[in-house]
Amino acid sequence: MLPERTTAVAPGPVLRAIALLGAAATAVVVVSAVVELGHTHWGAALVALPLLVAVLVTARLAYPQLVPSAAASLTLMVAAIGSGGIVAATGEARWAVAMHVLLAAGSFATTLVTFVLSLRGEALPFGPWRDYVTLTKPTIMSLLVLTGAAGMFVGAGGWPGAADLVVMLVGLALACGGASAINHVMDADIDRLMGTRTRSRPVASGRVAPPRALEFGIGLSALSFALLAARLNVLTALLALAGGLFYVVVYTGWLKRSSDQNIVIGGAAGAIPPLVGYAAATGDLGWPALALFVIVFLWTPPHFWALALMIKDHYAKANVPMLPVSRGDGETRRQILLYSLVLVAFTIAAGVWLGPLYTVAAAVLGGWLLVLAWRLRRDHTRHSAALLFHYSLAYLAVLFVAAAVDPLVV
């Protein structure tokens, strides 16, 4: 992923902060084990574990000098967590408790070693702070966070509570921003080929060094998991992590460059935020959550293919097999219409779970979406594609707002 260097690159402030937070959380694990603070003990472990994973993964990809100590720290923490089962099975025998505490203490010590080592090496510029905001793709994030919030309202059957809602929104935003930052690193080569808009992105333009963007993205993802797992529940944290991994590994790393169905399958990543919100409210998943997932999944192809029609030449220059490039504009317009028909039919049927106010909104919004999709099928201008693309953004946002409001007013 990253070019090799002859001298070790010093990690940036983000990775150092994550390593230090990991050490602090591990210290709390040790202290809470000694004084037998059960809830605090396991909560600290849920915070420490993703931070230690983040340090090791980032070290493996960009800072090899940190790998031995980071691997030791994570291994000892996993062993400490595993030994907690032995403590419980032996009725908190003294030898089992001592082993548990020693393993956690070893993890703490090696995490400190990692932090010290992170202070050494060739310094790279951090880059403008505004570029780090850009790395998170805030426009895309805002829509994902909105669908997550709607999922939480649906799961709670109304107002989910301010504190839990804020935690979920922050955790989901961190997960989305982290995955987007990693996407910038992985797509830097094709971004340089796709025109002025993408060529000026922080990593593609060279304003932010790939290791800096990478540690930023992985760090945000780790903080997301730690926050959601410790404050809400593990299922919510796992779903947010799964969405990021699917976007980075399956879509960006594999499908985007290999299949014209990339956005169809890869769209599952963007459909996970409603599941995150629903799980945050309920601790599990149900049919309403799956309905919201399917809506976003079906919405993604017509939305994204409308954009692809507008910038087909850019994808062709970068050899990215988007549908207009591989099968032509006519087939793309046909697929947009077909997906739009299925989407509108499903959104109306989903009213069984999402309520009458939502159903009315789905019918009205969907009717105009079909008009625009039909117009695009017959009118081959860029203007028609732009109309559908921009309307589809408002369509999804208003539809999910209706789903969120329905239990509050009906």
Q: What is the pLDDT of residue 2?
A: 54
Helix orientation angle between 67-89 and 94-117, rounded to the nearest 10 degrees: 160
The DSSP secondary structure of 23-48, one letter per residue, reads HHHHHHHHHHHHTT-HHHHHHHHHHH
Mean per-residue pLDDT over the chain, rounded = 91
**Who contacts 347 (Cβ-Cβ below 8 Å, separation ≥6)?**
295, 362, 366, 399
- Residues facing residue 34 across a β-bridge: none
The DSSP secondary structure of 218-229, one letter per residue, reads HHHHHHHHHHHH
**Confidence class for position 274, pLDDT limits 50, 70, 90:** very high
How many of the other CB atoms lie within 10 Å of CB of 397?
A: 16
Q: What is the pLDDT of residue 6?
A: 47
pLDDT in tens, 320-357: 999 999 999 999 999 999 999 999 999 999 999 999 99
| Rounded distance between C-alpha atoms, residue 367 and residue 348, angstroms | 11
Q: Which two tokens mark 296?
A: 């976003």
Q: What is the pLDDT of residue 120?
A: 86
Highest mean pLDDT among 96-100, 239-243, 250-254: 239-243
Q: Which two tokens mark 156?
A: 């709670």
Residue 258 has pLDDT above 60, yes or no: yes
Segments in 187-286 forming alpha helices (H): 188-191, 196-199, 202-205, 210-231, 234-245, 262-270, 273-282
| Rounded distance between C-alpha atoms, residue 149 and residue 76, angstroms | 37
**Share above pLDDT 70 across residues of the chain, in percent, rounded to a whole number:** 97
Residue 1 has pLDDT above 60, yes or no: no
User: First-to-last CA distance in the chain?
Assistant: 51
Residue 397 has pLDDT above 90, yes or no: yes
Mean pLDDT for the stretch of residues 260-286:
93
Among 126, 270, 302, 88, smallest CA distance to 208 is for: 126
Burial class (CB in 10 A: 0-12, 13-18, 19+), 25: buried
With residues binned 3-state (H G I as helix, E B as strand, rest as coil), the percentages for the chain, rounded to 5, are 80, 0, 20
Q: What is the pLDDT of residue 37?
A: 62
Mean pLDDT for the stretch of residues 60-66:
92
**Confidence class for position 95, pLDDT limits 50, 70, 90:** confident
Residue 31 has pLDDT above 70, yes or no: yes
| Rounded distance between C-alpha atoms, residue 117 and residue 381, angstroms | 57
| Rounded distance between C-alpha atoms, residue 149 and residue 276, angstroms | 9
Among 253, 234, 251, 233, smallest CA distance to 243 is for: 251
**Confidence class for position 7, pLDDT limits 50, 70, 90:** low
Among 312, 317, 352, 347, smallest CA distance to 333 is for: 312
Chain-centroid distance, C-alpha 390: 23
Residue 173 has pLDDT above 90, yes or no: yes
**Who contacts 377 (Cβ-Cβ below 8 Å, separation ≥6)?**
333, 334, 336, 337
pLDDT in tens, 33-56: 777 666 777 888 889 999 999 999
